[in-house]
Structures are given as structure tokens and as C-alpha cells.
Structure 1
Amino acid sequence: MSRRDPKHLKILRGASIEISVGLSSCLCSRPESCDCNESWFLPKALISQYSPFLRAACTRDFKERDQNLIELPEDDPAAFALFVEWMYYGEYTVLASSSTLSESLHNDTNMNAKCWVLGDKLLCTEFKNYAMGRLYMQHTARSTGRVVATYNVQYVCEHSATTSKLRQFYLDYVVEHFADPTRLKGTTEEWDELLIHHKDLRMLVFQSFKTAPDQRRFVQSEMNYMDQDELLSNTLDRLRIEGNDS
């Protein structure tokens, strides 16, 4: 649904529900100003339109519906804030929270990956693909492409399935540019540890050595990293699992 469509206004009305994202209690030295947890009061119709996961929490016989509260303690409040921005405007803007260039690039690069991971949990394919499009542009732009660091790859390997499009993109990128220090960042020790712990990446790197450097073209077109809408049966299965865990 286009955000300019008059029908979009209808899903901004009606009953709302509180969504608490992040840890409700933390050990920060200044908890009153930390961003470990944020609460949102959002229209049920809005979140139900874009997330089958949240729609189930609002409508099914779960404790979330009875308490009018959805808790997402393991998710990143900053990523969820971008999801909210995307629901309202159809896009989001990642603001650098650091004063140094290297730290801001770190935050920016990882945030789009975190948005993809959040979209995967919320079963929102459209949001996942939007985040993937931003990631793809970040890293593949010829003149302004940003490097991929070991912590980027580590995060993706720890938070996505081995068959996910997110993991596929990062592994393809690493394999294609493994010998290019202008595209990859990290010490020899960091890459060695990454290869030891992730067999699929290690095997792809070794296999790439059989290909001439000028013929290593592993990164595919952007569309190849876009997810198709999940089958209804798969969606329902995932919702049942979440319901049993609550």
C-alpha cells in the first residue's frame, strides 16, 4: 500500500497497543538517559498491515492481546524506530550517532543489517527487501562503496539462517573481494577466527582460489538478494512457534 494512498490514513486510526523494545532494565551508569529500551504506542491496524507477527500478537489469544502490551526484549530499539519510520513514510534515514567517521560508518552499516534481521522476525518481507536494497547500494557503489568489516560478517552469521539472503550477500561479497583491502576491513587474526567458526564461508573462500582473480564475480544482481513473500503455511508455522514460546 502506498503511503500516499488515502487508505493508508485508515490504518493510522483506531485502537493502539504498547510495544516495548529492548531490555526493560539495564546496568547503564545513567539509566534515565540510556537507549536500551523504548516504548511505542502504535495503531494496531498499522502494525497488523505490515507485520503478520505483530498482527498475531494483537488478535490471537496470546497474553499480549490481553495485556495490550508486546515486549521485544531481544530486539534493537534503534532498528525498531526505523521500522516505525518506514511504516509511516515508506523509507527511513540512518543518522550517525557518533562524532567520528569510523564509528558512524560502523553504526550505519550494521543498522541496515539489523533492520533486515528485525524484518525477518516480524515476517515483513517488504521491510527486509528495503533494508537489503540499502545494504546492497552501500557496499557495491563503485565510487562510494563502503568496506565490509569482520564485525559486519560476524553479526550476520550470528543473527541469520545459513540460507538467508542477507548471509548470502555478505558471503558473496567477502569471497569476491577477499584479497582487496579497499573492500574488506579486519586484521589477519580476525578473519582467521571468522573462517574457523563459519565453515560455509571458509569453503567458499577456498573454492574461489581456483578462479582467476579477474574472473571472480560472485556478487549477483540486487534482485537475487530479495526475498519473495513467504508461503502462508510457513508464516502460520512460525506464528505458532512464537505463540507456544510465549
Structure 2
Amino acid sequence: MDFTLVPFKEPDPSRPRTTQEYETITIEPPLSNYSLEELRLADYNKLANTQLVKPAVTGSPSVHPVSSTPQASMLVKRLAGRSRLQLLKGPGIEVVVGARPDLTGIDDSTETWSLSKALISHYSSTLRDACNWGHDDSHNLRIILFSEDPAIFELFVEWINNGTYTLEAPLPATTQPGVNIDAQAWVLGDRLGSIQFKNYAMGRLYARYTSAFEPHSIVTVDVNYSYEQTAHDSRLRMLFNNLLAVNFLDSTGVPSR
């Protein structure tokens, strides 16, 4: 199999208005059909299954292999070209994010989106079910996500349209201040039943904490968030558990805060 090194740039989440530049491997089909983030996630799953540990250190805790599930390791090809245009056809639906169920809470902090039913149904099983519920009622043109963060949902909208989302300074104000934006995006993807969006967010998290150029430290607020917002066997919690184990004796990797 032939490999071609090509330049690649991406925004650095921790350094506003800066980018990281390095070379990536563009592989011949069929792997070229997948995004860089999906390939990163596949690499993470493979690494996790071979014991994500540093060289043995006396007194360090043992880390057991992490079992992989077909759903978590699935790579889903994004539609492109004319196939993607088909998702923009048909009726739209109003998605209200951040309002109370009775709609009395709609204010400046609430966001309302008019989105293609086909598009959101393709990328989210939760939104697909909501679109299909009461489909015989022609007045069923609104979905209310009263418990979701409008700022994070906006990233999902950007992603379903562009295949990526951008984080520029100042970072969006969320309902979980201080928590990593990509971790919040993963949780939203989990609630929306969007495996591809979760894969994308996980790829960004993996790159953030394992970058050979400037790896970031793990902070307590992110670990706590992963435990509070996800199931015990979630990939997000598994990632932070592995990172904590790997950096257990490294005070620079796991600061005391």
C-alpha cells in the first residue's frame, strides 16, 4: 500500500488564533474515504485494546486491556457529493435548543434552528425518532431540546453541514464553564445518538491529550464531567481513565486541581 505525506493544519483549541501544522498520511482507498478524526479514533481503539500503558515503573498501578464494542469502533463513511445533496431536500423542522418544555423559557439564551429533516435524521437517531413521532400530524414542525446547551448544539449543526466544527477565541460560553468543549460535544453526540459526531469529538480529544508537539494536561473538571454525564462503560470515561492511569506518576500530566 502506497502512502503519501501531505501538509495538514488544524486549530489549536488551547491557543487562540493559532494552528498546529504537521504532515498526515493519505492512504489509498478504502481508508481514504474516512476522515482524519475517524482514523484517529480507530487508532485509539486499537491502542486501548493493547494496554495503554507506559514502560513499567515500580509501584505503578496495572492497567487492564479495554474491551472494544462494534458500535464504538465503527467507522461510518460521510456522504458526499450528490448523495449529500439529497439530505437537503424535503421538508424542514424547527429545533428549539435551551427552552423549557412549555416554551415559556425562550429568551436570548435560547437558539432556534430550521434544519432539514433528512439531514438531521441521517446523523442523529434521536432526532430521527423525534421527526417521525406524530408524523401524521402536519403541524409537527418543532423539536424541543430543553436540556441541551445551545452553544454545543451549534457545533453539531456546523459539523453536519461542514464535516467539522471550529473553536475560535473567545470560546463559546457554555452551561458547563471550564469543561473541555470537545468533551461536551461528545456527550451531546451520545444523547443525540450520533456515532459519527462522537467519533469526531473523540478524535479531537485524543489529539489534544496525545499530541507529540504539545500534549495537554488532564484537568479535574473534565474527569468529573465525564463521570457525571456518561455511563460507566462510555468511551469518554474510558479515555479519561486510561489517561489518568498512564499519567498516574506524572505530575505534569495530571495536575492537582
Query: In 2 relative to 1, CA 108–89 (structure 1 residues): closer, same or farther, beyond 3 Å?
Result: farther
1:117 aligned partner, one-letter code: V
- % identical equivalent positions: 38
* Equivalent in the alignment of 2:242: 172
For structure 1, the 5+ residue unaligned runs are: 188-246
Per the alignment, in what secondary structure is the counterpart of residue 185 of structure 1?
Answer: coil
**Change in 2 beyond 3 A, CA 1:114/1:7:** same
Distance in 1, matches of 2:230 and 2:111, equals 24
After the TM superposition, which residues 190-205 of structure 1 pair with which residues of structure 2 at under 5 Å, given as runs? none
Question: For this pair of structures, how many residues does the alignment match?
Answer: 176
Q: Which structure has more strand as a fraction of its residues?
A: 2
- CA RMSD of the aligned region, Å? 2.8
**1:217-243: per-residue Cα shift (whole Å, max 9, x none)?**
xxxxxxxxxxxxxxxxxxxxxxxxxxx
Match of 1:97 among 170, 189, 192: 170
Whether the aligned pair in 2 keeps the contact of 1:18 and 1:69 (CA below 8 Å) is: yes
Alignment of 1:63-212 (within 5 A): 66-97=139-170, 110-187=180-257
CA contact (8 A) 2:152 2:184 kept: yes
Change (3 A) 1:64 1:151: farther
Instruction: Name the structure 1 match of 2:82.
Output: 6
**8 Å CA contact 2:99, 2:144 repeated in 1:** no
1:54 aligns with 2:54: no
Distance 1:23 1:186, change over 3 A: farther
1:148 counterpart SS class: coil
Contact 2:134/2:140 (CA < 8 Å) preserved in 1?
A: no
Structure 1 pair 42–157 and aligned structure 2 pair: CA distance change class (3 A): same
- TM norm structure 2: 0.61
Q: Residues of 2 paired with 1:147 and 1:163: CA distance? A: 23
More helix by share: 1
Partner SS for 2:164? coil
Tell me how far 1:108 sits from its aligned partner: 8.6
Q: Which has the higher contact order (CA 8 A, sep 6+)?
A: 2
